[in-house]
Structure formats: structure tokens, C-alpha cells
């Protein structure tokens, strides 16, 4: 069994497809640059936890809105 097999990964994350998981993960890493300091760290951790476990909680409307906001926000100079 190969843990990197997409079918196995999808079975572990039935509520999110690969693209959604990668977008949330990218937003988590970007959050620390868009919002330096504790706010960015908190946001990054929340996004990573959502990517890992949040799909079990149901709708992800708020999370997808946060991801969109992080991904479109400029990184401060």
C-alpha cells in the first residue's frame, strides 16, 4: 500500500478533493506573510487544522472565504 496514492489520500479526506486541500494548505503558509506575527500564526494553524480535520465538521463556506481573502491579499513590503 502506497500512502501517496491519490485514492488512499481521498479516502482519508472524503470531504475535500486534492485541489481544495492544496489551496487551503497554500493559504495557511501564505497567511504568515500576509499577516505577520501572532495573527498570521493563528490563522495558519487554523487553516492547517481545517485541512486536516475540518472537513468532518460539514460546510466550509467560511474557510473558503478566508482562503480566498488570504490568497488575494497583498503581502506587505
Residue 47: inside a domain: yes
Q: How many domains does the chain have?
A: 1
Cα–Cα separations (whole angstroms), residue 25 to 1, 22, 64 = 25, 5, 12
**Would you place residue 12 in the very low, low, confident or very high pLDDT band (cuts 50, 70, 90)?**
low
What is the band of 69 on the pLDDT scale with cuts at 50, 70, 90?
Answer: very high
C-alpha cell at 8: 488512499
Q: For residue 33, give Cα distances in angstroms to 17, 42, 50.
A: 25, 12, 19
Task: Tell me whether residue 32 is in a domain.
Answer: yes
More confident residue, 27 or 12: 27
Backbone angles phi and psi of 15, in degrees to 5: -90, -15
For residue 46, tell me if it sits in a domain.
Answer: yes
Examine residue 1 and state whether it is found in any structural domain, yes or no: no
User: Residue 17 belongs to what domain range?
Assistant: 6-72
Q: What is the pLDDT of residue 55?
A: 65
Question: Which of residues 21 and 55 earns the better pLDDT score?
Answer: 21
More confident site: 49 or 10? 49
Please tell me the predicted confidence (pLDDT) of residue 7: 54
Amino acid at each position: 500500500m502506497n500512502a501517496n496514492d491519490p485514492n488512499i489520500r481521498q479516502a482519508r479526506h472524503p470531504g475535500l478533493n486534492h485541489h481544495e486541500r492544496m489551496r487551503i494548505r497554500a493559504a495557511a503558509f501564505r497567511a504568515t506573510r500576509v499577516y505577520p506575527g501572532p495573527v498570521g500564526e493563528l490563522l495558519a494553524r487554523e487553516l492547517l487544522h481545517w485541512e486536516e480535520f475540518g472537513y468532518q465538521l460539514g460546510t466550509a463556506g467560511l474557510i473558503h472565504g478566508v482562503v480566498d481573502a488570504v490568497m488575494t491579499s497583498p503581502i506587505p513590503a
